[in-house]
Structure 1
């Protein structure tokens, strides 16, 4: 990985419709970029997707889990977690039902 490698954002099928049908998005990142920065940039391009991931206050929705290189965002520094160039960010929705 180099400092210019894009972040690979992976979405489940349930969220891909809000991203124009795409299951993977390439996003730029750099030194000091955080998960909040990544989601802010995502919101500019895909506002419907943003509303499915974060609430009106900018917090992750409770049924959404985000992983940075396999580490759950909430167990790291939350939205202040570093998103290094070349990493994989996986967004998952919790599934409930019976």
Structure 2
């Protein structure tokens, strides 16, 4: 199981939980697991989120591996210009 820290306004979509656990080995599995467990989070996941894994931020890098001891943070999509 991977422990995921939910950041900011996204906690409203996880029943107020700031940390959740999901069975996942890749970023895609993580997002699929979160969407299945928290249906209210699905629309945001479909619009796009950013996921920080061990300090690096990923967007749409579906096959990025996640270890059980990785630090994982789910954030609203980070945009830059």
Whether these two folds match at TM > 0.5 is yes
* Aligned partner of 2:31 among 39, 64, 69: 39
Please name the residue that 1:11 is paired with.
6
Runs of 4+ in 1 over 4 A off after TM superposition: none
Please name the residue that 2:74 is paired with.
91
Please name the residue that 1:65 is paired with.
50
Structure 1 stretches lacking a partner, 5+ long: 1-5, 56-60
Report matched runs for 1:19-30 at 5 Å: 19-29=14-24
Residue 45 of structure 1 and its aligned partner are, at CA, apart by 0.9
Whether the 8 Å contact between 2:50 and 2:78 is mirrored in structure 1 is no
**1:82 and 2:65 aligned:** yes
Structure 2 stretches lacking a partner, 5+ long: none
Structure with more of its chain in strand, by fraction:
2
Residues of 2 paired with 1:13 and 1:73: CA distance?
17
Closer, same or farther: CA 41–11 of 1 in aligned 2, 3 Å: same
* Aligned partner of 1:48 among 40, 65, 76: 40
Residues of 1 paired with 2:61 and 2:26: CA distance?
9
TM-score (norm 1): 0.68
TM-score (norm 2): 0.80
